[in-house]
Amino acid sequence: MDNNNLEQITFGGGCFWCVESCFNMLKGVKSAISGYSGGHKDKPTYQEVCTGETGHAEVVQITYDPTIISYEQLMDVFFFLHDPTQLNRQGNDIGTQYRSVIYYKDDAEKAKAEEAIKVSIESGRWAGTYVTELTKFDKFWPAEQYHQGYYNENPTQPYCSAVVGPKIQKFKKHFGELGMLNAE
């Protein structure tokens, strides 16, 4: 990967444990870091974000090489991994911290995000009205270290085995067939 060409995107699609582990498997992704964005408190903790009072969403910040994986491909994965029609929740995870949100850096990136939403709607993958927020990027706060690579370190933890694991298997099957995954 050419470090001079790297770009970043930040978005939230529910619990960051699911999203981060999948994006780290993709060819062209240098890193996917779990963290928090969109709130009003500097350096929030997981416990603070879980109260819903900081305004932050659980997000993943992805650093990627656009010569290997495109913004559009990343958006396709994003919309594959979560249900963008569920307001402030994903499955049993309920609260504003689990909202569907794309943080854009400029008008060009906002336009690409709007187009990605349109493409996803037209795909028919999800029935219902999309509630994905488009929000100007402000700050990203990395989550505590124990959240980074959480699924890989804790695959037998009950939430991971019941929720994250099946989502990862579905992801691996679909995107593996497309040749988008790194070799294990």
Residue 50 appears among annotated catalytic residues: no
> Distance between CA 66 and CA 28 in Å, rounded?
7
> Distance between CA 139 and CA 144 in Å, rounded?
16
- How far CA 117 is from CA of 13, 62, 110, 123, 132, in Å, comes to 13, 18, 11, 10, 8
- Indicate which residue of 15, 18, 22, 160 is catalytic: 15
Neighbours of 25 (CB within 10 A): 18
Q: Which residues participate in catalysis according to the annotation?
A: 15
